[in-house]
């Protein structure tokens, strides 16, 4: 799939077919995350792949909006050093977002939908996944083949994203159009 098509058509998917991910699809997703750029190339991440249905059902309880994890084909828990740790820079979370978007797009290009889940109950998540005290899981990505074709083809919701004119400034905060006298 073409990059611009993927970026334009990408939609969050929360309902999935009851079918496991093909091994080569899972590998492509993980590899896209692994390859992501990171600050000073630190790659402060581990990815825990969860496919066991009982474990996914437990993970669905880590937050009020995480219920969809119970029905996914695979969750990938994104583990980093604790971003709230002493002197931990914002780049831990920024880098993780970049890696997650790589995974999301690699999946989408293979017909696989995804949606993130935010962890609220960190003790529960830690007990399920077993990462050590110096590690943290703020997000999981949930992957699967979409239950409904429409979830791939539906057009973007009108008003779903702010238009460029509300998001972009030129040269300085508040300047909504390129300056006419720009050199």
Closest approach of Cβ 168 to its own copies, in Å?
Answer: 5
Q: Which is nearer to its own copies, 17 or 118 (CB)?
A: 118
Residue 41 in contact with residue 34, Cβ under 8 Å?
A: no
Which residues are 146's β-sheet partners? 16
Q: Which is nearer to its own copies, 67 or 116 (CB)?
A: 116
The structure tokens listed for 93 are 């979370």
Angle (CA) 35 97 3, round 5°: 60
Cα distances from 50 to residues 35, 54, 69, 172, in angstroms, run: 20, 10, 10, 45
Closest approach of Cβ 143 to its own copies, in Å?
Answer: 14
Closest approach of Cβ 7 to its own copies, in Å?
Answer: 5
- Tokens 């973007």 — which residue? 156
Q: Which is nearer to its own copies, 123 or 171 (CB)?
A: 171
Closest approach of Cβ 147 to its own copies, in Å?
Answer: 19
Q: Which is nearer to its own copies, 17 or 35 (CB)?
A: 35
Angle of helix 23-34 relative to helix 91-109, nearest 10 degrees? 150
């Amino acid at each position: 799939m073409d990059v611009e098509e993927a970026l334009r058509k990408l939609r969050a998917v929360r309902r999935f077919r009851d079918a496991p991910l093909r091994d080569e699809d899972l590998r492509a997703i993980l590899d896209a995350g692994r390859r992501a750029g990171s600050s000073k190339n630190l790659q402060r991440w581990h990815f825990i792949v969860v496919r066991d249905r009982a474990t996914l059902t437990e993970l669905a309880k880590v937050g009020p909006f995480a219920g969809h994890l119970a029905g996914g084909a695979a969750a990938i828990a994104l583990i980093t050093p604790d971003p709230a740790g002493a002197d931990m820079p914002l780049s831990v979370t920024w880098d993780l977002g970049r890696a997650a978007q790589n995974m999301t797009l690699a999946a989408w290009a293979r017909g696989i939908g995804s949606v993130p889940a935010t962890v609220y109950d960190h003790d529960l998540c830690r007990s399920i996944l077993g990462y050590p005290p110096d590690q943290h899981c703020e997000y999981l990505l949930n992957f699967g083949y979409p239950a409904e074709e429409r979830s791939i083809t539906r057009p973007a919701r009108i008003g779903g994203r702010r238009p460029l004119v509300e998001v972009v400034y030129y040269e300085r905060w508040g300047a909504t159009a390129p300056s006419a006298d720009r050199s």
